[in-house]
């Protein structure tokens, strides 16, 4: 079955970097767009970034544009999110999600990123 497993979260100081990974299985990864979505615990969902199935198109929410980079390795069925210049307000659970025409039909369990000094 479809599986998405995020990793790479943790506690990091403001201004530092972190790279999240999302290992996938159970579907043809190279045929699907992929998303990152985040959620501050106890609050709502925020769409963060999109990458097209072939990696040629990327887009970001304004609050992370220029600091975060989404990428993928279709040979490894893995999605990434490189997060630089982290801020306290980036603290959240980050989910990777499979895209279907823009919405997300499968989600990982999430990885918690905590930005604190």
Partner 1 sequence: DIQMTQSPSSLSASAGDRVTITCRASQDISNYLAWYQQKPGKVPKVLIYAASTLQSGVPSRFSGSGSGTDFTLTISSLQPEDVATYYCQKYSSAPPYTFGQGTKLEIK
Which spans of this chain sit near partner 1 (rule: CB under 8 A)?
35, 37, 44-47, 50, 59-62, 95, 100-105, 107-110
Least Cα distance to 17 among 64, 75, 78, 73 occurs for 64
* Residue 65, C-beta contacts closer than 8 angstroms, at least 6 positions apart: none
For the CB of residue 13, give the shortest distance to partner 1 in the complex, in Å: 28
For the CB of residue 96, give the shortest distance to partner 1 in the complex, in Å: 11
For the CB of residue 106, give the shortest distance to partner 1 in the complex, in Å: 9
Task: Give the CA distances from residue 104 to residues 17, 36, 53, 115, in Å, rounded to whole numbers and listed in that order.
Answer: 26, 10, 14, 26
Question: Which residue lies nearer to partner 1 by CB, 72 or 108?
Answer: 108
């Amino acid at each position: 079955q479809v599986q998405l497993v995020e990793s790479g979260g943790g506690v990091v100081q403001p201004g530092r970097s972190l790279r999240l990974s999302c290992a996938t299985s159970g579907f043809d990864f190279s045929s699907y767009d992929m998303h990152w979505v985040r959620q501050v615990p106890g609050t709502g969902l925020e769409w963060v970034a999109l990458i097209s199935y072939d990696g040629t198109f990327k887009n970001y929410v304004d609050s992370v544009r220029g600091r975060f980079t989404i990428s993928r390795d279709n040979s490894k069925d893995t999605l990434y999110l490189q997060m630089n210049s982290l801020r306290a307000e980036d603290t959240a659970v980050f989910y990777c999600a499979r895209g279907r025409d823009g919405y997300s039909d499968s989600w990982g369990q999430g990885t918690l990123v905590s930005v604190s000094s």
